[in-house]
Amino acid sequence: MCGFDMEIEVKTTRDFFPPDNFAIGVRPCNPQNFKELMDVYIRLCTDLSRKIMRGISLALTGSPEEFEGGRAGDAFWAMRIIGYPGVPTADGPGPTNDIGCGAHTDYGLLTLVNQDDDITALQIYSNGLYDSTLHRVINKSPRYWVCVAYFYETNFDTAVEPLETCIQRSGRAKKFERAVYGEHLVSKLLTSFS
């Protein structure tokens, strides 16, 4: 598996992750305007994420602004472009092991995934009304496969806890304890990359 991370666009993570700890991977030479294309793509993903979160907020609370301001008004993003080699076929050689990412749930607010055509914060805010989707990534195709994952996160220093309207709608007690998202993210990343 090969891939690289685009910059995490948030001021406060620099305190936790100095630039030499999370180096940006090598960018492709072709197309020559790759960085400019990705900048446009990231702006589109950010705009789409904000619109999706306004819709989710409207559905959960009746107010489209619930995830703006103190919760996600200064949201940040991370993006990974990951390539997965093809698997062997009867006609020729290929990798002999499954290559991918095991079963997991994403720990951010919203994830957008774009991939080849043929090939949990939200859970807490909603008090379990919306679940994080358990998923895994395995390429079973003989072709090299590319996945672009864009992670839209809350404000780094926001308190993540069930919204009062969601506690009432779920008809149960507060299911999740309060956590500071940045501390949770740092813990997950250090566990994943240590």
| CATH code where residue 156 lies | 2.60.120.330
What does the angle CA 33 – CA 36 – CA 41 come to, to the nearest 5 degrees?
A: 120
The answer to whether residue 95 is domain-embedded is: no
Q: What residue type is assigned to position 140 of the chain?
A: K
Residue 112 lies in a domain: yes
Q: Looking at the domain assignment, is residue 167 inside a domain? A: yes
Q: Which domain holds residue 173?
A: 2-87+105-193
DSSP H stretches of helix in the chain: 13-16, 34-61, 121-125, 164-170, 181-193
User: What's the structural domain count of the chain?
Assistant: 1
Question: For 166-181, what is each residue's pLDDT tens digit?
Answer: 999 888 899 988 989 8
**Position 139 in a domain:** yes
Residue 150 contacts by C-beta under 8 Å, 6 or more apart in sequence?
42, 45, 49, 77, 78, 79, 111, 112, 113, 114
pLDDT 10s digits, 70-85: 888 888 888 888 877 7
pTM, two decimal places = 0.74
- Residue 175 lies inside a defined structural domain of this protein: yes
Specify the 3-state DSSP secondary structure of 150: strand
Token output for 179:
């956590």
Contact present, 107 and 184 (Cβ < 8 Å): yes
- Residue 49: inside a domain: yes
Q: Is residue 92 part of a domain?
A: no
Q: Is residue 98 part of a domain?
A: no
Q: Is the pLDDT higher at 97 or at 61?
A: 61
